[in-house]
Amino acid sequence: MKDLLVYVHSPAKAQLFMTYGAYVARDLGLSVKYLYVHTPPDFPLGMPGSLSAAAVARQKDIEDEIERIKHHFELQLEKLNASDPDLPMLDYKIEVGLPPEIMKEYCLQKMVDTIMLSSSKDHTAIAGDTDNVEIIRNVNCPVWIVPEGITYKSFSEILYATDYHEEDIPNLKILAEFASRFPANITAVHISSNDGFEERVKGEGFASMIREKTGYNMISLKVLKETSGEPLVNELHNFALMMDADLIVLLRENRGFIDRLMHGSRSEKIARQTSLPVLIYNEARK
């Protein structure tokens, strides 16, 4: 069984977030590995084997921090296991280094299926939010962004941002398999300034093609008319709230759609701004 890797900034204060990850993993048939990464102020430390007094003192500080984090993880896991006997296997790992590099390696080595990150309400308050952007950009596995303070509920309405291209199909197949576990409706949404785009999509039978190729019937299509003056990210997020979506799904790269959302990655911006959980897939490449 593969792991959902849940990146925890502070185990002592992360009970709600850790609980969210445990329930997502339960419903997806995954085990959970909670990860804490300690990055010393002067990381990387000196040459291996250094016997200087300063190196010894730094090593002692690291060992003390690791013991403190172990204590809090064990307390939290004890609470979680006592709260629900149906939770999956829960474990934790403490690493020393740079979080984006460590998680990139976890994905490259196929040690995890997906990564879950938290997003704070005050993005300047937690340095880890800067790490989130780099993690999204560099890992080759799906990434969850879970807003701080939300509680888990089974997914029933999923919004998928799309350009309505043939290359969406591999991603929608993966998403359909995911959605079928709940089961959840998928609404594929595109925002267009082209007045005839919705009619063209309907005329070309894109909805029927999606249902046929994914084998999932609970998929519908929606074209939103782009309005002047309203940021595109806001339009997508507002529509998600209107449809009572409980999950937004994005591709890290979706050609054409990105540039109209922002000068960088739309996924990163929406993940920073939304009050809903976001699941970011890598785009399937041929």
Q: pLDDT tens digits for 61-79?
A: 889 999 999 999 999 999 9
The candidate with the shortest Cα–Cα distance to 140, out of 172, 113, 175, 173, is 113
95-109, 120-134, 192-206, range with greatest mean pLDDT: 95-109
Over residues 5-13, mean pLDDT? 96
What token pair was written down for 234? 């806001």
If asked whether residues 57 and 138 sit together in one domain, one would say yes
Would you state the pLDDT for residue 276?
A: 87
Residues 137 and 174 grouped into a single domain? no
| 135 and 216, same domain (yes or no) | no
pLDDT at 243 (0 to 100): 93
Q: Higher pLDDT residue, 254 or 31?
A: 31
Tell whether 240 and 134 lie within a shared domain.
no
Q: What pLDDT is attached to residue 264?
A: 46
3-state secondary structure of 233: helix
Residue 272 sits in the same domain as residue 204 = yes
Q: What are 107's two structure tokens? A: 């994905």
Same domain, 168 and 271: yes
Q: State pLDDT tens for residues 23-63.
A: 999 999 999 999 999 988 777 655 455 556 767 777 888 89
The residue from 98, 118, 147 where one domain ends is: 147
Residue 152 placed within a domain? no
Residue 286 lies in a domain: no
Residues 124 and 14 in one domain: yes
Looking up residue 24, the CATH number of its domain turns out to be 3.40.50.620
Neighbours of 213 (CB within 10 A): 15
Q: Are residues 26 and 60 in the same domain?
A: yes
For residue 261, the tally of other CB atoms under 10 A from its CB is 22
User: Which percentage of the chain shows pLDDT scores above 90?
Assistant: 47
For residue 31, being part of any structural domain is answered with yes
Q: Which of 106, 75, 108, 101 shows the shortest CA–CA distance to 90?
A: 75
Task: Return the pLDDT at 127.
Answer: 35
- Backbone φ, ψ for residue 226 (5° rounding): -70, 130
Q: Range of 121's domain?
A: 3-147
Q: Which residue has the tokens 């934790």?
A: 92
Of 103, 119, 147, which closes a domain? Answer: 147
Q: How far is residue 272's CA from residue 267's CA, in Å, rounded to a whole number?
A: 9
Quick one: tokens of 222?
Answer: 């929606």
Give 199's pLDDT tier (boundaries 50, 70, 90).
low
* 98-102, 156-160, 178-182, 248-252: least confident range: 248-252
Quick one: 169 and 275 in the same domain? yes
* Residue the block writes with tokens 């084997």: 49
pLDDT value of position 196:
66
Tally of structural domains, the chain: 2
